[in-house]
Amino acid sequence: MNALSEHFEGRFLDELLGKITSAMCPQVSDHDCKTCAEFMETDEWKFFEPSFEDTDRTFRALLKSGRYECSRTGLRIECSSDVQLEYLTCDWEQVNYTPEMDQFTPCGPLMDLKVISGELKEVYLPHSLCLGKSLQRDAVKVLHVEDSGVYFEECSLTRFHAKLLDLSFSPKGLLLRKGYTVFYHCETLIYHTLKSHLTLHVYLIPSDKQMKEAVTKKEEQMRSKFILKPEPQCKLQMNGRFTLKALDQTKTSDCNSDITPKVITFR
Domains of the chain: 7-32+185-265 (no CATH), 44-177 (2.60.220.30)
**What's residue 28's pLDDT?**
34
Paired with 7 in beta bridges are: 201, 260
C-alpha separations of 230 from 30, 151, 211, 242 in Å:
9, 38, 18, 17
**What's residue 19's pLDDT?**
39
Residue 5 has pLDDT above 50, yes or no: no
159: enclosing H helix or E strand: none
Say how far apart CA 264 and CA 262 lie, in whole Å.
Answer: 7
**What's residue 65's pLDDT?**
95
On whether the CB atoms of residues 29 and 230 are closer than 8 A, the answer is yes
pLDDT in tens, 85-110: 999 998 888 776 777 788 888 889 99
Top pLDDT among 195 and 66 is at: 66
Residue 197 has pLDDT above 70, yes or no: yes
On whether the CB atoms of residues 206 and 243 are closer than 8 A, the answer is no
**What's residue 27's pLDDT?**
33
- What percent of the chain lies above the pLDDT cut of 70? 85
pLDDT in tens, 42-71: 778 999 999 988 778 899 999 999 999 999
With a threshold of 0.95, does the pTM exceed it?
no
Confidence of residue 24 (pLDDT cuts 50, 70, 90): very low
Range with the poorest average pLDDT among 2-6, 188-192, 204-208: 2-6
**What's residue 16's pLDDT?**
38
